[in-house]
Amino acid sequence: MKKMIYAAAAVAIAGLLAFTLAAVNWKVSSDGAEVKFTSDKFDGSFGGLKASISFDAEHPEEAKFSASIDANSIATGFFLKNMHAKDALGVDDHPIIKFESTAVSKSGSGYVAKGNLTLKGASRPISIYFTFTGKGGQGIFKGNMTVIPKEFGIDHNGTPPKVMVSLVVPVTKM
């Protein structure tokens, strides 16, 4: 009986170790990260990306992404557009834009992270399509997603019907 208990415990520990070894934690090189957006009305970027990333290309189903951006960092290249965009985003009441993954899977030659985007206090499901290239302790995630501002209660005069967001996130193994 003791041998069976020890064998079961050994199998359980081995399983936990395999899961732990599959998850690779990455640190974002925030000075090299790019979060850019384009629309039919204006283009721009956000700065100050912060993220917690656990990803292994061989086991994407175990990945977890959690990221945030300071909404006040929006930059369109024109002061008045920045002010209008900050007003539309409600940065005084909702200064942080967040993404939290719920599932990650292989998709074609890349991956897709499904999760919830929180923008202006509203959370909606969204998919980020991305690729990952890594070598040694370095890597880079490149992705894109489409945001429909009205779905988040952003409907000021001049708000585009959709915004394409592109991401370039250099990382190092932790």
> Does 76 fall in a domain?
yes
Of 19, 24, 92, give the one whose Cα is nearest residue 56.
Answer: 24
Q: Is residue 15 part of a domain?
A: no
How many angstroms separate the CA atoms of 169 and 154, rounded?
A: 26
| Identity of residue 147 | V
Whether residue 103 is predicted with pLDDT greater than 50 in this model: the reply is yes
d(CA 71, CA 124): 17
For 63, the domain range is: 24-173
- CA nearest neighbour of 116 among 102, 105, 129: 102
Each as own residue / partner, the long-range contacts of residues 79-86 (CB below 8 Å, 24 or more positions apart, any chain) are 81/42, 81/44, 82/44, 84/156, 84/158, 85/42, 85/44
- Residue 7 domain-assigned? no
Q: 83 lies in a domain?
A: yes
Q: What confidence score (pLDDT) does residue 156 get?
A: 86
Q: How many angstroms from the chain centroid is the CA of residue 69?
A: 10
Assess if residue 67 is contained within a domain. Answer: yes
Does residue 149 carry a pLDDT above 80? yes
CA-based nearest residue to 101, from 118, 78, 81: 118
Give the residue, 18 or 80, on which the prediction is more confident. Answer: 80
Whether residue 6 is contained in a domain is answered as no
More confident residue, 12 or 96: 96
pLDDT(4) > 90: no
Residue 168: per-residue pLDDT: 97
Q: Which two tokens stand for residue 58?
A: 């061989």
Task: Look up the CATH number of the domain holding residue 129.
Answer: 2.40.128.110
**Domain tally, the chain:** 1
Q: In this model, does residue 12 exceed pLDDT 60?
A: no
25-58 pLDDT tens trace: 999 987 789 999 999 999 999 999 999 999 999 9
The upper half-sphere exposure of residue 151, i.e. CA atoms within 13 Å in the direction of its Cβ, equals 14
Is residue 145 over pLDDT 80? yes
Closest CA to 132 of 65, 76, 80, 74: 65
Q: What is the pTM assigned to this prediction?
A: 0.85
10, part of any domain: no
Give 87's Cβ-side CA count (13 Å radius): 11
User: Residue 87 pLDDT > 80, yes or no?
Assistant: yes
pLDDT > 70? residue 153: yes
Which of 22-31, 51-60, 84-93, 122-131 shows the lowest mean pLDDT across its residues? 22-31
In a domain, 19, yes or no: no
Which range is least confidently modeled, 7-11, 63-67, 128-132? Answer: 7-11
The model's confidence at residue 17, banded by pLDDT at 50, 70 and 90, is: very low
